Amino acid sequence: MSHLKTKHLLGIKNLNKEDILLIFQTADNFKEVINRPIKKVPSLRDVTIANIFFENSTRTKLSFELAEKRLSADVINFSASGSSVKKGETLLDTVNNILAMKVDIVVIRHSSPGAPHFLANHIDAIIVNAGDGTHEHPTQALLDTYSIREKCGEVNGKKVVILGDILHSRVALSNIFALQTLGAEVMVCGPATLLPKHVGELGVLVENDVRAALEWCDIANVLRIQLERQEMRYFPSLREYSKFFGINRELLDSLKKEIIIMHPGPINRGVEITSDVADSDHSIILQQVENGVAIRMAVLYLLAGRVD
Ligand code: CP
């Protein structure tokens, strides 16, 4: 069996092109498995995985759990709400107590950037980053680029705009790394206040005009405004944001070409995207979710090759 060059999946930054292509190739096999009448394989029968989520999640949490069950792993789930974290227990104590129950892999989502890296330096288990604050969300970028490859045949040479709240987005950073590694051209677009000051140094094009961005791109990955991470106002109102930066049918119809629409979810319908765009034939939003299970199966399978 081939392995990833890394013990943990902490970010896309730690993966090279061969790693990403190996994950895609493995996901192709698992996608075939999960479309069979019997969707389960025994690959991780002796592996125990803890999903520890200190932040809310629907897609990532359910997708990891389903991927683990499809691989026949033993699974335990932990949510900070309702746990002893509320009594003051630290992250390290929480995880060490979970590990005392003989856990091999920890999938962690945390609001603090670097929390998965901290764990990787302090405990023996394999760590998978399921989103750390505004930093990285590697499996989201893998499923996004896998979905582009599935829809377009390849990622290399495609023009992808990431649109919206780039400043607070872990999806944006992981997507930039993954898309560039696979040879895509990347643009970020949004209000100047929601673009990090030095984002151009990542080798991306920077644009404030949504129409210009859409005319340039083949694919638009539309992001949610992360109000929960904003301590101040970055734009006057959601209505104004929607008017100047929202994607609607009229805007898409006025372009001289058709583009593919993506969104990592959760969607704020009527803010960054209207329903007639999110639910249109140009949208691959639900294919992204479907591919998330195969990608997470592939990541867990490849990392579990290192479990003793
Ligand atoms: N895309 C994503 O991370 O969604 P959740 O927050 O629902 O997991």
**Model confidence over 6-57: pLDDT tens digits?**
999 999 999 999 999 999 999 999 999 999 999 999 999 999 999 999 999 9
CA of 267 to the centre of ligand 1 (A): 10
Task: For CA atoms 154, 255, 283, 169, give the dihedral sign.
Answer: positive
Q: How far is the CA of 196 from the centre of ligand 1 (A)?
A: 22
Tell me what pLDDT residue 232 has. Answer: 64
Cβ–ligand 1 contact at 129 (below 6 Å): no
In this structure, the residue with its CA closest to atom 5 of ligand 1 is: 57
Q: For ligand 1, what atom is nearest to the CA of residue 63?
A: 8
Which residues face 185 on adjacent strands?
159
Cα 287 to ligand 1 centre (Å): 14
Instruction: For residues 78 and 49, give the distance between their C-alpha atoms in angstroms, rounded to a whole number.
Output: 11
How many angstroms is it from 186 CA to the middle of ligand 1? 22
266 lines ligand 1 (CB under 6 A): yes
Which residue's structure tokens are 């992250």?
91
Q: Which residues pair with 160 in a beta bridge?
A: 186, 219
Q: Ligand 1 centre from 28 Cα, in Å?
A: 22
| 174 touches ligand 1 (CB under 6 Å) | no
Q: What is the percent of the chain with per-residue pLDDT over 90, rounded to a whole number?
A: 88
Ligand 1 contact, 131 CB (< 6 A): yes
CATH class name, domain 138-285 = alpha beta
Per-residue pLDDT, averaged over 138-165, amounts to 98
CA distance 62 to 302: 20
Question: Does ligand 1 have an atom closer than 6 angstroms to the CB of 289?
Answer: no
Phi–psi pair at 50, nearest 5 degrees? -110, 125
Share of the chain above pLDDT 70, in %: 97
* The pair of three-digit structure tokens given for residue 232, joined into one six-digit string: 């101040």
What one-character-per-residue DSSP string does 225-244 give? --GGG-SS-SSS-HHHHHHH
The distance between the two most distant Cα atoms of the chain, rounded to a whole number of Å, is 59
Ligand 1 atom, smallest distance to 61 CA: 8
**Can you tell me the distance from the alpha carbon of 83 to that of 62, in angstroms, rounded to the nearest whole number?**
19
Q: Tally Cβ neighbours within 10 Å of residue 199.
A: 18
CA dist 286 to 25, 143, 241, 282, 283, Å? 21, 11, 25, 11, 8
Which atom of ligand 1 approaches the CA of 58 most closely?
7
State which ligand 1 atom lies nearest to the alpha carbon of 130. 3
- Output the CA 288–ligand 1 centroid distance in Å: 11
Taking a C-beta distance cutoff of 8 angstroms, is the pair 164, 272 a contact?
Answer: yes
Q: What's this model's pTM, rounded to 2 decimal places?
A: 0.95
Q: How far is the CA of 142 from the centre of ligand 1 (A)?
A: 14
Q: What are phi and psi of 238, to 5 degrees?
A: -65, -35
The domains spanning 12-136+289-304 and 138-285 adopt the same CATH topology:
yes
CA atoms within 13 A on the CB side of 135: 18
Distance in angstroms (rounded) separating the CA atoms of residues 179 and 186: 7
The yes/no answer on whether domain 12-136+289-304 falls in CATH 3.40.50.1370 is yes
- Residue 229's pLDDT is 65
Strand residue runs (E) in the chain = 48-53, 74-79, 105-110, 126-132, 159-163, 185-189, 205-207, 219-222, 260-262
Q: Is 265 in the pocket of ligand 1 (CB under 6 A)?
A: yes
Q: Which residue intervals of 128-167 are DSSP H helices?
A: 138-152
Ligand 1 touching residue 57 (CB < 6 A): yes
Distance 254 CA to ligand 1 centre (A): 31
75 Cα to the center of ligand 1, angstroms:
19
Confidence of residue 152 (pLDDT cuts 50, 70, 90): very high
CA distance 63 to 48: 16
CA-to-CA distance for 192 and 245, rounded, in angstroms?
11
Q: Is 59 in the pocket of ligand 1 (CB under 6 A)?
A: yes
Over the stretch 113-142, which tens digit does the pLDDT of each residue have?
999 999 999 999 999 999 999 999 999 999
- 167 vs 225: CA distance, rounded Å: 10
Domain ranges of the chain: 12-136+289-304, 138-285
